[in-house]
Amino acid sequence: MSILEKYMKVFNEKDESGMNEIIHDDFKFTMHSSGNVLSKSDVISWAMSDDINDDKSRIVYENDEIGIYHSFVTFKDGNTQAVMAVYKYKDGKIISLETGATNMPK
């Protein structure tokens, strides 16, 4: 199972321990749509909430250094975005995540 497959599994199962294992301690998540930067603990807390539901998810490309992922994400407030995510890896863990998101019509 690839790094991104493992990440998506623990993310979807809300496996906090698994997320701590697959995400590097120096992790940074940059959301280009808002300019926010989240830490490892921020992302794990958000993932454990009921705010995010992804659909039609797929790995576009992955190797030992990078993973590219696309999905449609619906948030608790009803907004949906098409999200392209780029994951960078270090030491077999996710060190960074950058996303670009397009708001979808309701």
pLDDT the model gives residue 29 = 95
Tens digits of residue pLDDT in 43-99: 999 889 877 778 888 999 999 999 999 999 888 888 899 999 999 999 999 999 999
103 φ, ψ (degrees, to nearest 5): -65, 135
Q: Which domains does the chain have, with CATH numbers?
A: 3-104 (3.10.450.50)
pLDDT the model gives residue 87 = 97
What is the Cα–Cα distance from 37 to 34, expressed in whole angstroms?
A: 9
What is the Cα–Cα distance from 70 to 57, expressed in whole angstroms?
A: 6
